[in-house]
Structure 1
Amino acid sequence: MSRMPNGTSITASERDLMREEANINRIAWAGGVGVTIVTVAALIALSVEVGGQWWHYALYSAAGGVPFAYAVFCGFVIRRMQLSSYHRFKARLVTQLTDLQDLAYRDELSGLFNRRHFYEVLKIEVAKARLSRQPLAILVMDLDGLKAINDEYGHGVGDEILANLGKAMARHTRTHDVAARLGGDEFGIVMPVTDKRGAFALAQRLWEDLERTPMYQEGEKSITVTVSVGLAGYPWGGEEVEELIQWADADMYANKVSRKLARSGDAITQPVTSQGIDSAPDDGYGKV
């Protein structure tokens, strides 16, 4: 971004538009010079001729017709070029705005949406669920032991695990679900039109995928991770955004505590959530 003499900043797209407008003005100026030369030459030829021959009238007509043709050229051709330049600039601007919006709502590391977008969508979906009386579910999830992984293997490995966890979440969500990284090692999913069984089924599949799929692998080094999951939904977990978040956080914390108490060596023997997800049947929730 550069600045004009008055201190106003201009973008690259604005510079491109200004350059195109300058080119159009140069074309118009060159056309005007050409028309002027032709007109002057025609008038000089008329002034030195004597007599009323027929071609005098043709020259007079040309002297008046060429400027008129140039006016038509300016009115249509140059205007068309300006409109074309405007539409190209508008298309570039829309693309840039879309990219900026995506940057504003995306978490760069995981590729998922960010906390801001998660809460904005959740507010909208709660209002829609209340109006339509359709179910809604949310999932919150903590990655277990991220600090220990960073301490032992370095933050680069931890970042790769977070990125791969984001990919795993994307594999198990539908096109209208919103999977987000809420910050640090915390993630969340908004699941519109999803009941309690559907939310349990998604969490179960995600849990099983993480159990069998290493989130980091290099040579013989392989790291699998576990997560603590909490679920909530409308209306069974509350009817306001704050109530749903509190319910899901409490469920996730209870899950984390119960799994720590039930840990035997490195084996995890408890279900994914404290609400008994291991016994919840799959109701067909999946990608659409």
Structure 2
Amino acid sequence: MKPFFFTSLSLRSRFLLAMGIVFIPLVVVAVGSSIFLGHAANTLNRIVEQPVYKLQTTSRLQNQIRKSYVLVKDHVLTPRYALRTQFESEAQGVEAVVAEMLEKPFFGAQEQSLLANVRREWKDSVVLANVIFSSDASRAALYQLDQRVNQIMFTLDRMYDTYYTEINMLRADINASEKRFLLIISAAVGIGLLIAVVGAVWLARSVLMPLREFEKGVAHFANEDLSYRLTLNNHDEIGHLAMEFNTMAERLLAHRQKLEELSVRDGLTGLYNRRELEKRLQEEVQRARRYRRPLSVMMLDIDHFKNVNDRYGHQAGDEVLITVADLIQLNVRPVDAVCRYGGEELAVILPETEEEGVRIVAERIRATVEDSITTTPQGDMVHVTVSIGLAIFPGHGDTAAALIQAADQALYTAKHEGRNLVRSL
């Protein structure tokens, strides 16, 4: 089993499992409590019912024997026949109590033996008492009866000691059970706390760590770093959110790249727009100045473009403009930047290009456009030419604005001298 298989569960299952783990100690406590309480109740019943019965019956037996003995003593002092009849009744009561006690199964072997001794001593006492009732009582006979009754009382006192010993043992049993119960409760609580801590850490790691990863992703997004991706392999709801997050990031990055592309491109021709021209030319001028490298700029204008729009329509003019833009891109290097400067006017930035090189490229573009024909959507065949002005850094200007101005003046010269020409200052 993998140590973090927990993360493969759904968050709902994860929380339910964690709650179940936390409730295990509570179940243990409940079961232990019921067992202890049942045992304690049985032990308490034994303490309350059986010993109380033993104490009560033994006390009743002692009182019964005392009453019987007092009747014999009264007869010795004042002989009366009624006392003998009453003694016989009380003596039968003593026998009945002893018989009742001997029938109870919860009297132990020692108690049974002591009760047997009491019964035997009492029978001998009854015989001695009958002797006293049937003849003139002597002090010697009364003394013997007194000794036997004292012996019986002593035996019953020993039974009291046995009862108290039993009660103390039962109390010790309850105390031991209480200690065991407290130990079980303490262990269950300790285990429960340990399980709860482990479960909480486990649950927190499986939830908080992915959330921290999400925080990193959001922080990267806040810093416009749309290339950051969440590296979560969870198969739960958080994992699905991470996948959606990465998918959203891909889409946002694609949209941003598209927007950036649209922000620097001309919507019709796909060439760089004038703002991008100025930005790139500024960067190239700084690089050329820093490293003392050549740089050239080319300005192009489609000759008599207004006539094309007036004769064939603006849609045909757009087709011509697109064709010329494509032809220019076919004749320059990938490092060269072709831009739409405005209207039918185009510009090209040529890094690492001197005057001779830019003239060759310009003448190739001029000739290519002159030899091309554009077919309009209406089927018309349109033939156009371009005029081109050149400016070379730093001879014609050492700033971006100066180069644009120089190339534009050269373009004006080409147009003034008859168009379809390449000129420089």
1:56-67 matched pairs, under 5 angstroms: 60=192, 62=195, 65-67=198-200
Distance 2:403 2:197 in 1: 79
Structure 1 counterpart of 2:292, from 123, 130, 133: 133
Q: Is 1:72 aligned with 2:205?
A: yes
From the superposition, tell whether residues 33 and 146 of structure 1 become closer, same or farther in structure 2 (CA, over 3 Å).
same
Distance 2:314 2:371 in 1: 23
Distance 1:77 1:68 in 2: 14
Q: Write the deviation string for residues 82-115 of structure 1: whole angstroms up to 9, x where unpaired.
A: 6524666555544433322222211010100011
| 2:418 match: secondary structure | helix
1:70-219 matched pairs, under 5 angstroms: 70-80=203-213, 83=217, 84=230, 85=242, 92-217=251-376
Percent identical among aligned pairs is 27
Q: Is 1:237 aligned with 2:370?
A: no
From the superposition, tell whether residues 219 and 95 of structure 1 become closer, same or farther in structure 2 (CA, over 3 Å).
closer
The Cα of 1:68 is off from its aligned counterpart by 3.3
Extract unaligned runs of 5+ from structure 2: 1-9, 36-183, 218-229, 231-241
| 1:239 match: secondary structure | coil
Q: Is 1:42 aligned with 2:191?
A: no
Contact conserved, 1:213 with 1:224, CA < 8 A, in 2?
A: yes
Structure 1 counterpart of 2:418, from 259, 262, 279: 259
Contact conserved, 1:135 with 1:194, CA < 8 A, in 2?
A: yes
Matched with 2:66 is none
Matched with 1:247 is 406
From the superposition, tell whether residues 75 and 259 of structure 1 become closer, same or farther in structure 2 (CA, over 3 Å).
same
Give the CA RMSD over aligned residues.
3.1
Task: Give the partner amino acid of 1:272.
Answer: L
Extract unaligned runs of 5+ from structure 1: 1-26, 261-270, 277-288
From the superposition, tell whether residues 249 and 257 of structure 1 become closer, same or farther in structure 2 (CA, over 3 Å).
same
The Cα of 1:74 is off from its aligned counterpart by 2.0
Matched with 1:272 is 421
Task: Give the partner amino acid of 1:213.
Answer: S
Contact conserved, 1:126 with 1:240, CA < 8 A, in 2?
A: yes
The Cα of 1:212 is off from its aligned counterpart by 2.0
Matched with 2:226 is none
Contact conserved, 1:140 with 1:188, CA < 8 A, in 2?
A: yes
| 2:417 match: secondary structure | helix
Q: TM-score scaled to structure 2, two decimals?
A: 0.50
Contact conserved, 2:302 with 2:387, CA < 8 A, in 1?
A: yes
Contact conserved, 1:142 with 1:185, CA < 8 A, in 2?
A: yes
Matched with 1:14 is none
Across the two proteins, how many residue pairs are aligned to each other? 238
Q: Write the deviation string for residues 165-217 of structure 1: whole angstroms up to 9, x where unpaired.
A: 22112112212211100111100001111001111111111112112222335
The Cα of 1:35 is off from its aligned counterpart by 3.9
In terms of mean alpha carbon deviation, does 32-41 or 209-218 score higher? 32-41
Q: TM-score scaled to structure 1, two decimals?
A: 0.71
Task: Give the partner amino acid of 2:315.
Answer: G
| 2:387 match: secondary structure | strand
From the superposition, tell whether residues 42 and 63 of structure 1 become closer, same or farther in structure 2 (CA, over 3 Å).
farther
Q: Write the deviation string for residues 19-51 of structure 1: whole angstroms up to 9, x where unpaired.
A: xxxxxxxx65x3564145414542442233126
Distance 1:121 1:129 in 2: 12
Structure with higher RCO (Cα < 8 A, 6+ apart): 1
Distance 1:229 1:177 in 2: 16
Structure 1 counterpart of 2:382, from 216, 223, 235: 223
| 1:187 match: secondary structure | strand
Distance 2:213 2:29 in 1: 38
| 1:176 match: secondary structure | coil
Matched with 2:89 is none
Contact conserved, 1:211 with 1:224, CA < 8 A, in 2?
A: yes
| 1:49 match: secondary structure | helix
Contact conserved, 2:390 with 2:423, CA < 8 A, in 1?
A: no
Task: Give the partner amino acid of 2:200.
Answer: P
Distance 2:361 2:341 in 1: 19
